Homo-oligomer: A and B are copies of this chain.
Amino acid sequence: MLVFHVATTARSGMYNITADVRQALRRVLEEFPGARSGALALFCPHTTCGLTINEGADPHVCRDMVGFFDRLVPQDAAFTHAEGNSDAHIKCTLHGPSLLVLVEDGALQLGTWQAIYLCEGDGPRRRSVWAQWLPGPSGR
């Protein structure tokens, strides 16, 4: 299992971790030279941030998305959790903690416009992302 870290800089925001995921895949391929096709399972071990995949080209998309989720789940809603970050827990579940990205011939397979994001809901913090290689039909 591989681990990488993301330093978030605001209470809520989206952080492009595509390069980190590519680097994790390179480490898998170095350690298991036979690995070619399969999937990389990504897992976020936190409860106030999540993972998603969305457009990586125009930063306005992330801005619109973060703004939408901030309005959908306001911080000052009548929540009971004493830490005052129930909004971030809810966003975490809306985004989800786990993702699968496919790998073919040793290359991460993403659509033309896709980038992988960590969605911060209660930053700034130092976050971890875990990655596990799941071999495809060749069994490697």
Which chain A residues have a beta carbon within 8 Å of chain B's beta carbons? 1, 28, 31-32, 35, 37-39, 41, 43-47, 52-55, 58, 60-61, 63-65, 68-69, 72-73, 77, 79-83, 86, 89-90, 92-102, 104, 109-114, 128, 130, 132-137, 139-140
Contact = CB atoms under 8 A, between A and B. Distances in A.
B39 A93 contact: no
A136 B137 contact: no
A38 B132 contact: yes
Contacts of A96: 52, 96, 99
A140 B139 CA distance: 6
A99 B98 contact: yes
Given A61-B81, A135-B139, A52 B100 contact: no
> What are the 4 closest A-B residue pairs judged by CB atoms, nearest first?
A45-B111, A64-B86, A60-B81, A64-B79
Given A68-B73, A81-B58, A43 B109 contact: yes
Contacts of A92: 54
Contacts of A94: 94
A93 B136 contact: no
Contacts of A114: 45-47, 97
Nearest to A132: B102
B45 A68 contact: no
A80 B46 CA distance: 30
